Amino acid sequence: MSFRRRLLLIMLAVMAVAQLVAAIATLGTIHRDVMQKGGRELEVGLGVMRQLLDERGKQLRDSVGILTSDFGFKSAIASQDQGTLASVLANHGERVGADMVLLAAPDGTIVASSHHAPGTPMPFPRLWRQVRQAGEATGVVLQDQRPYQFVMLPVRAPNLIGWVGMGFLLDTPLADEMARLTRLQVSFLVSGAEQTSGAPGDALDDAAGDISGGMKGYVAGALAQVPPTAVSALRADLARGEYLHHSGVDSRLDALVLASPLMISKSASDTGRGQVYAVVEHPRADLLAVFQALGWRLAAIFAVTLALTALVAAFSARSMSRP
């Protein structure tokens, strides 16, 4: 092998190694950066989503407030006649587009409800505690394993004559609207509510029950399109506390995932009742699109530099090898 060829090969090898190391380092950093940025976007998106839900809660509270201050409504409530009560609740519930309406006595006993039997105690203990403290409450509740944004307000005539609660389902249209605003994939997921046998937070049980039962738990939004097995795997992960504080990659969904529980103040007595999660996703393909484009560009640069180096090396080797 001539000195010229050897010099050429050594220079090319050094060049290639340097380029490769640089490329790997760059791509690694960029991958990390892309994932971090994706995670930040998810955090911002989830924050915006929670804010939107809060705003919606306030808006619903105001709408329900106008209904409960309606004199016709109050006089119908004061009539204490079951037929009148049911029809006025249905009529006024329809005016604001509620999916669940209830009327409770001042002590919390159900007087009339679209979902509960008269005479039963208040079904939402957390919300009821909040109502007793603040005089009204807005929050997310589970009824028949479906999540509702719920508003409970006093009916004053002008003394307290009862409590009106109206629930608004967290459904796919709402998830889609939030998806449009946050530019993320948005879903509402109910977890752990179908377990009647107790064992709260038993992830394996939960997942197994879901696989055998097919679409058992409630899902609305982007995740409704996903195979049930992937959703139940996500439920199991959420039950273990994953994706709640930091975003993570779910390989079944092939996406970066972040979630947040929507039911507040989980006390020991409430854990068996299930949880509602807001889930935001960023598909990995979308995130890595930039990364892949950059990879190709780097490969092109690598090839061009290698060719240039080869040329320069060949020339310089020729001039050097001459006496």
Partner 1 sequence: MCPTPSHRWTLSAPLAALALMLLTWAAPAASAQLQITDAATGVPLSEAVVEIYAPSSAGATRAAAGGYQVVQRHATFIPHVLLIPVGAEVSFPNRDTTRHQVYSFSPAHPFSLDLYLQETPPPERFDHAGVVVLGCNIHDAMEAFIVVSDAPYRTLTGDDGRAVFDLPPGQHRLRVWHPRLEDTHLEWWEGEIVADQSREVALTLAASLPPVPAPSALQQRFQRALEQTQAN
Residues of the shown chain interacting with partner 1 in the complex, contacts defined by CB under 8 A: 69, 71, 74-75, 78, 106, 132-133, 135, 154, 156-161
Nearer to partner 1, 86 or 157 (CB): 157
Nearer to partner 1, 71 or 296 (CB): 71
Question: Taking the complex as a whole, how short is the minimal distance between the CB of residue 111 and partner 1, in angstroms?
Answer: 14
Question: Taking the complex as a whole, how short is the minimal distance between the CB of residue 69 and partner 1, in angstroms?
Answer: 6
Nearer to partner 1, 29 or 80 (CB): 80
Nearer to partner 1, 2 or 159 (CB): 159
Question: Taking the complex as a whole, how short is the minimal distance between the CB of residue 66 and partner 1, in angstroms?
Answer: 11
Question: Taking the complex as a whole, how short is the minimal distance between the CB of residue 155 and partner 1, in angstroms?
Answer: 10
Question: Taking the complex as a whole, how short is the minimal distance between the CB of residue 116 and partner 1, in angstroms?
Answer: 22
Nearer to partner 1, 97 or 121 (CB): 121
Question: Taking the complex as a whole, how short is the minimal distance between the CB of residue 124 and partner 1, in angstroms?
Answer: 18
Identify the residue whose tokens are 């809060």: 54
Nearer to partner 1, 132 or 246 (CB): 132
